[in-house]
Structure 1
Amino acid sequence: MKQRFRQFMQGRYGLDQLYVGMLVLYFILLFFSRWFMPELMTGLMTLVIILAVFRMFSKNIVVRQRENAVYLRVVNGMKHTGKKLLQRIKDIPTKRYRKCPNCAVTLRLPRKRGRHKTTCPKCHTSFEVKIRM
């Protein structure tokens, strides 16, 4: 039986991170389908499962790899943004973030009340920063 399944899957795409993401989306939709528009959620869940199974058994491997690469780029971008936001929240007691007026790079400055002169490390522009508590 295992050999037959292995033979059937030969040349097919199989599982990847997008497949796992689609399953997570399915279970999120399943959770919310109890309270919000159950008919619509059921339709979306069916569509997600059909698409996931289609991708798994597809023989067009190059296209499936491209789809997975796009998915990973989006997810990794969201993770990076989330990490930066979390770091900014953790830094609230000790740091302040300001943008350079010349090159728009975000600078992490110590939290000292008053007006301070600072220099951008990227473009070396000096500018004045006002920090309030």
Structure 2
Amino acid sequence: MKEKFKQFMIGRYGLDQLYIGMLVLYFVLLFLSRWFMPALMTGAMTIVITLAVFRMFSKNISVRQRENAVYLSVINRVKQTVRQMFQRLNDLPSKRYRECPACGVTLRLPRKRGKHKTSCPKCGTSFEVTIKF
């Protein structure tokens, strides 16, 4: 039986990160369906699991790889944003974040009250920063 399945899967796409993400979404919808709109959640769960199985058995490998690459780029941007938010929270007692008026780069400055002159390391523009607390 195992050999027959291996033969069947030759030339098919198989599992990837998007498949795992779709399974996680399926279980989140399953959990939420107990309390919020069960009929709608059941329909969404059916669509998600159908797409996941379709992708796994698909022979159009190049399209599935592109889909996975798009998924990974979105997930990596979300992860980076969350990491930056936690970094800012950790730095709250000692640092302040300000944007350069010329190039828009976010600068991490020491938390010293009052007006200070600083310069952007990227574009070299000098500007004044006021830190109130």
- The answer for the alignment partner of 2:33 in structure 1 is 33
The residue identity in structure 2 corresponding to 1:3 is E
Tell me the distance in 2 between the aligned counterparts of 1:72 and 1:3: 32
- The answer for the alignment partner of 2:67 in structure 1 is 67
1:27 to partner: Cα distance: 0.3
Tell me the distance in 2 between the aligned counterparts of 1:98 and 1:38: 45
Deviations 1:84-103 (A, max 9, x none): 11101110000000011111
Q: How many residues align?
A: 133
TM-score by length of 2: 0.99
1:2 to partner: Cα distance: 1.1
1:34 to partner: Cα distance: 0.7
Residues 1:90 and 2:97 aligned together = no
- The answer for the alignment partner of 2:19 in structure 1 is 19
The residue identity in structure 2 corresponding to 1:66 is R
1:28 to partner: Cα distance: 0.3
SS in structure 2 at match of 1:103: coil
1:118 to partner: Cα distance: 0.4
1:132 to partner: Cα distance: 0.7
- The answer for the alignment partner of 2:112 in structure 1 is 112
Q: What value does the CA root-mean-square deviation take over the aligned residues?
A: 0.5
Runs (4+) off by over 2 Å: none
- The answer for the alignment partner of 2:9 in structure 1 is 9
The residue identity in structure 1 corresponding to 2:119 is T
Tell me the distance in 2 between the aligned counterparts of 1:102 and 1:10: 55
Deviations 1:104-130 (A, max 9, x none): 111000000000000111111111100
Unaligned regions of 5+ residues in structure 1, if any?
Answer: none
Unaligned regions of 5+ residues in structure 2, if any?
Answer: none
SS in structure 2 at match of 1:18: helix
- The answer for the alignment partner of 2:43 in structure 1 is 43
